[in-house]
Amino acid sequence: MKQQLQHTLRDILGERVCFDEPLSRHTSFRIGGPADAWAEVSNAGEILAVQRLARDAGIPVFVIGIGTNILVSDRGVRGIVLKLGKGLGAIEWSLSGDGARARAGAAAPFKKLVLEAAGRELSGLEFAEGIPGSIGGGLLMNAGAFGGEMSDVVESVEGVEAERGEISFDRSELNFGYRTFDLPRGLIVTAVNFLLRQDAGDEIRARMTSAKRKRESKQPLGLPNAGSIFKNPPGEFAGKLIDAVGLKGSRVGGAMVSEDHANFIVNVDKARATDVKSLMDQIVDAVWQRKQVRLVPEIRLVGEWERAS
pLDDT in tens, 275-293: 999 999 999 999 999 999 9
pLDDT for residue 133: 87
Distance of CA 103 to the CA centre of its chain: 18
CA distance 169 to 208: 30
Angle formed by the axes of helices 201-218 and 110-119, nearest 10°: 150
pLDDT for residue 7: 82
**Residue 273: closest CA among 306, 298, 249, 231:** 306
pLDDT for residue 220: 84
Catalytic, out of 24, 228, 258, 272:
228
pLDDT for residue 152: 95
- Residue 308 reports pLDDT greater than 60: no
SS3 102: strand
Which residues share a beta bridge with 83?
40, 64
pLDDT for residue 215: 77
Residues 81-139 pLDDT 10s: 999 999 999 999 998 777 799 999 999 999 999 999 999 999 999 988 888 889 999 99
More confident site: 253 or 2: 253
- Give the burial string for 53-68 (b: 16+ CB within 10 Å, else e): bbeeeebebbbbbbbb
- Give the burial string for 16-26 (b: 16+ CB within 10 Å, else e): bbeeebebbeb
- Residue 271 reports pLDDT greater than 60: yes
pLDDT for residue 309: 43
Q: Is residue 147 very low, low, confident or very high in pLDDT (cuts 50, 70, 90)? A: confident
**∠52-56-62 over CA atoms, to 5°?**
60
- Residue 145 reports pLDDT greater than 90: no
Domains in the chain: boundaries: 3-87, 89-218, 238-302
Which of 70-74, 174-178, 214-218, 243-247 is predicted least confidently? Answer: 214-218
Topology of the domain covering 3-87: 3.30.43
Q: Is residue 1 very low, low, confident or very high in pLDDT (cuts 50, 70, 90)? A: low
pLDDT for residue 77: 96
pLDDT for residue 149: 93
Q: Has 298 been annotated as catalytic?
A: yes
Q: Is residue 307 very low, low, confident or very high in pLDDT (cuts 50, 70, 90)? A: low
Q: Has 228 been annotated as catalytic?
A: yes
Catalytic, out of 179, 207, 258, 272:
179
- Give the burial string for 81-102 (b: 16+ CB within 10 Å, else e): bbbbbeebbebebeeeeebbbb
Class level of CATH domain 238-302: alpha beta
| Beta carbons within 8 Å of 89's beta carbon, 6+ residues apart | 105, 106, 107, 108, 109, 134
Topology of the domain covering 89-218: 3.30.465
Determine the average pLDDT of the residues in 165-187.
93
- Residue 297 reports pLDDT greater than 50: yes
Determine the average pLDDT of the residues in 243-249.
97
Q: Has 251 been annotated as catalytic?
A: no
- Give the burial string for 278-308 (b: 16+ CB within 10 Å, else e): ebbeebbebbeeebeeebebbbeebbeeeee
Residues 17-67 pLDDT 10s: 999 999 999 999 999 999 999 999 999 999 999 999 999 999 999 999 889
Give this prediction's pTM. Answer: 0.88
pLDDT for residue 2: 62
